[in-house]
Amino acid sequence: MTRSTRQIKLGAFLMQTGHHIAAWRHPEAQADAPVNFRHYAELARRAEAAKFDAIFLADSVGVRNTDLASLSRTARSDHFEPLTLLSALAAVTEKIGLIATVSTTYNEPYHVARKFASLDHISGGRSGWNLVTSSGQGEAQNFNLDEHVEHARRYARAAEFHDVVLGLWDSWEDDAFLRDKPSGQYFDPAKLHPLHHRGEHFSVRGPLNVSRSPQGRPVVVQAGASPAGRDLAARTAEVIFVAHQTFDEAQAFYRDIKGRAVAYGRDPDDIKIMPGIFPVIGRTQAEAEDKFARLQDLIHPVVGVQLLSNMIGGFDLSGYPVDGPLPDLPETNGGKSRQQLLIDLARRDNLTIRQLYLRIAGARGHQQVVGTPQSVADQLQQWFEQDGADGFNIMSPWLPGGLDDFIELALPELRRRGLFRSEYEGATLRQHLGLARPPHRAVAAAQAAVAEAEAASA
C-alpha cells in the first residue's frame, strides 16, 4: 500500500476490564478494574506514552441489564462516573485527550456545560463531550419515568441541548477576566454574554460560572447513526464514534456525513469520523486466533443471550432456541441503528442466536479484526485512505493486555507506514485532532459586521 500524507487519529476506548463480554475472566485482566483508579491511571499513562489522541469513557445512568442471572456473571454493573474519573486522570497525564459520554436525555445543559468547561481548565484544554441520547429503559426508571423517552423526542431535545451548552460555553469572551488588583476590576462587564435561551425543552438564562475554556470550548463528539443521529452529527459533531461491520458500510457512512456537513455550511474536514475497531493481535495469525478463542470460551450462554437481547433494543430472546434463527423483531425505542446493524448481520450471514452473540461478544457490532500486526494495519490503512474513516476508536479485548498488544505490535507497523505520529504536535485535544479553536461567537459576529460595513462603504 502507498504511504499516506495524512495520519490516523486514535482513541483508546477504555471499557473497565476490556470490551469482550467475558474479559473480566481473562487470567491477565484486572477483575476489579471498574473501581480501581490505579488501573485507569496506568492505562491512561500507557496510551499517552503511545501518543494516542484521546482516551474515551462510555457511560449510562443505570444498570442496563436487569436479568440477574446474566448480570451477576458480567463486569458491567459497577463503574466510575466518567467526569469524576477523567478529572483525576487529568492530574496524572499531560497531553492525551479526555473524552466522556454524558447523555442529553437525563441531564441538564447547565450541568453539562459547567462540568466539561471545568475539565477543560483542569486538563489544560484536553476535554471532549460525547453527546448521546440514552437508549435504556432502566435509565428512565432512575429519573421519575415509567417509560423511556420516545426516540424522536430524545433527538429533538438533544439538538436544543447542544445549542444551549455551546451558548453557555460562550458566556465570557476569552479576555473577559482582568483580575486587576490595583484597579479592583475583576472582569470586564462588556465581555459578559448571558444566554437568555428560551426554547421548547429548556429555559436557561446563564451566564455559565466558568470562564471560557482553553480550547474555546471542549470538543463535541457524537455517536448516533440513525437518520436523526446522522443529521444531528453533521450539524453539531466534531468527532463521530460509529460502528460498522463492513468497509462498504463505513465508506457509505463517511460520504453521507461529509455531504451532510457541506449542506450545513461546514468544512467536511471539521468532522473526524472514528469507527470502533476491536483488534485481537498476535505475532502470527494462529496466535491471534488462539487469543480470541480463549476469550470466546469464557462466555456463559446466559450472558451471551442477554447481551444480544439488550443490543437489539431490549427484546427478550431467552425463550427462543439458542441454535435457531433470530426472530423478526419489533422496532425498538432504544438504539435504532445498532438494532438494524445486528439484524442485517444475522440475515446476511444466516446466523443463529448463538452464532450472533458469539460474533458480537467482543466488538458488540463494531468491526472485529483478528490477525497479525500487518493484517490489522492493512485494514486500518484501507479504511483510512479509501474514505472509510479519519481514525479509529481502539476497543481492547481485555485490559491491560489488549491495549499493550496494540501499542507494542500494531503501532510500530502503522508508524513504519507513516500513518501515525511518533510525537504530539500540540498540547490540546483540538490540536491533536487537527481541529481549529473556535472563535467566540459574539466577537466573530461583531467582526463580521464591521467587515461588512467597511466593504459596503468602500
**Closest by CA position to 356, among listed 312, 397, 297:** 312
Q: CA 151, CA 168: separation in Å to the nearest integer?
A: 26
**Closest by CA position to 299, among listed 363, 339, 357:** 357
Is the bond preceding residue 275 a cis peptide, omega within 30 degrees? no
Say how many C-beta atoms besides its own lie within 10 A of residue 343's C-beta.
16
59 is in an annotated binding site: yes
**Ramachandran angles phi, psi of 155, nearest 5°:** -75, -35
Dihedral sign, Cα of residue 393, residue 395, residue 399, residue 405: negative
Block residue for cell numbers 502503522? 414
Angle between helices 301-311 and 353-360 (to 10 degrees): 80
226 is in an annotated binding site: yes
Cell of 72: 451477576
151 is in an annotated binding site: yes
Measured between alpha carbons, how far is residue 292 from residues 188, 287, 353 in Å? 60, 9, 19
Q: CA 418, CA 412: separation in Å to the nearest integer?
A: 10
Helix (H, G, I), strand (E, B) or coil at 353: helix
Q: Give the DSSP H or E segment for 447.
A: helix 441-457
Measured between alpha carbons, how far is residue 80 from residues 59, 83, 100, 366, 420 in Å? 9, 9, 11, 24, 31
Which residues carry a binding-site annotation?
59, 101, 151, 155, 226
Which residues carry a binding-site annotation for FMN?
59, 101, 151, 155, 226
